[in-house]
């Protein structure tokens, strides 16, 4: 007896299969997490008073233009110009202890998708500004362990490297998850692929942010988006892009936060 296949399968058999991945990123999972994030955005202003401040103002990387003065912002340029550097770095700046301080922030990566950014800080004065460190997340290198090297950044004496989630949990008292809402999944994948080409390049915190030969932590996520899609996540367009500059950018939103 000849058995004819169900007509509904016949009609669908000629259709192209639905794409489920883009360069190793599951589209359905990506969209699900993106929807979750959009429902959990924090107001950035709620965090400003928690940052290291000078007379109530946050350090950013360049002087503000006339008319842009805000009580929450002060430039790194103005800070350095108006302080006694020897006093700050020689007396007031606490010396490094031989005993490592281990923090216990528990930043969750449940809602992180490819191209999301982590910024983190700890108590004290930091030459990096109000926030100490930044990295961009590659979900394709994350397999559920906090020891997976999935956060692309740059470190002194190491250059551009991948770091673990454990590093951010144990070395910083506070951490934030940032997303770039206007970036598509394709642009995020391209952002990671573009900047990963520079793994191994040397670290230099004085480098021009447009210099591909020398890198520092927050330059990595900034360059990733600038190169891949032209999205500029530097909040003020200075010579440098500090972690705080990415935090205050109108192109980023805070969707995750943890403190120890």
DSSP-assigned letters across all residues of 88-137: IIIIISPPPPSSPP--------TT--TT-EEEEE-SS--TT-SS-EEEEE
Between 68 and 198, residue with greater pLDDT: 198
230 Cβ contact list (under 8 Å, min separation 6): none
pLDDT of 125-148, one tens digit each? 677 778 999 999 999 999 999 999
pLDDT of 223-242, one tens digit each? 999 999 999 999 988 888 99
Between 14 and 155, residue with greater pLDDT: 155
In this predicted structure, the answer to whether residue 56 has a pLDDT above a threshold of 80 is no
What pTM was computed for the model? 0.84
Task: Give the pLDDT band (50/70/90) at residue 95.
Answer: very low
Planar angle of CA 78, 80, 85, nearest 5 degrees: 155
pLDDT of 15-29, one tens digit each? 556 789 999 999 999
Task: Give the pLDDT band (50/70/90) at residue 55.
Answer: low
pLDDT of 71-90, one tens digit each? 666 666 666 666 555 554 44
Domain spanning 23-93+105-259: which superfamily?
Answer: endopeptidase domain like (from Nostoc punctiforme) (3.90.1720.10)
| Arithmetic mean of pLDDT, 33-38 | 96
In this predicted structure, the answer to whether residue 7 has a pLDDT above a threshold of 60 is no
Q: Please tell me the distance from the alpha carbon of residue 253 to that of residue 260, in angstroms, as a whole number.
A: 22
- Of the chain, the percentage scoring pLDDT greater than 90 comes to 63
Nearest to residue 227, comparing CAs of 235, 239, 219? 219
Task: Give the pLDDT band (50/70/90) at residue 59.
Answer: confident
Please provide the average confidence, as pLDDT, over all residues in the chain.
84
Nearest to residue 141, comparing CAs of 130, 129, 128, 151? 151
Q: Please tell me the distance from the alpha carbon of residue 144 to that of residue 53, in angstroms, as a whole number.
A: 36
Between 166 and 78, residue with greater pLDDT: 166
Q: Please tell me the distance from the alpha carbon of residue 112 to that of residue 179, in angstroms, as a whole number.
A: 8
Angle, helix 185-196 to helix 219-229, in steps of 10 degrees: 120
- Of the chain, the percentage scoring pLDDT greater than 70 comes to 77
In this predicted structure, the answer to whether residue 96 has a pLDDT above a threshold of 70 is no
Percentage helix, strand, coil for the chain under 3-state DSSP, each rounded to 5:
30, 20, 50
Q: Which residue is it, tokens 């192109």?
A: 251
Write down the domain spans for the chain: 23-93+105-259
| Arithmetic mean of pLDDT, 51-58 | 72
């Amino acid at each position: 007896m000849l058995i004819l296949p169900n007509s509904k399968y016949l009609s669908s058999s000629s259709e192209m299969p639905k794409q489920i991945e883009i360069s190793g990123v599951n589209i359905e999972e990506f969209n699900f997490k993106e929807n979750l994030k959009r429902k959990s955005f924090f107001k950035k202003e709620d965090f400003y008073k928690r940052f290291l401040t000078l007379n109530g103002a946050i350090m950013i990387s360049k002087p503000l233009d006339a008319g842009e003065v805000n009580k929450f912002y002060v430039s790194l340029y103005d800070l350095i110009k108006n302080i006694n550097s020897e006093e700050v770095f020689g007396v007031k700046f606490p010396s490094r202890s031989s005993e490592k301080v281990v923090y216990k922030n528990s930043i969750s990566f449940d809602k992180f998708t490819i191209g999301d950014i982590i910024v983190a800080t700890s108590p004290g004065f930091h030459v990096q500004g109000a926030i100490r460190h930044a990295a961009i997340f590659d979900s394709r290198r994350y397999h559920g362990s906090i020891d997976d090297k999935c956060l692309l950044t740059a470190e002194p004496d190491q250059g551009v490297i991948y770091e673990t989630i454990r590093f951010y949990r144990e070395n910083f008292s506070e951490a934030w998850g940032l997303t770039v809402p206007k970036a598509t999944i394709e642009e995020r994948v391209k952002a990671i692929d573009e900047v990963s080409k520079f793994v191994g390049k040397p670290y230099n915190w004085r480098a021009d942010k447009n210099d591909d030969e020398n890198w520092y932590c927050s330059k990595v996520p900034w360059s990733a988006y600038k190169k891949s899609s032209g999205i500029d996540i530097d909040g003020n367009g200075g010579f440098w892009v500090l972690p705080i500059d990415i935090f205050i950018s109108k192109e980023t939103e805070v969707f995750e936060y943890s403190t120890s």
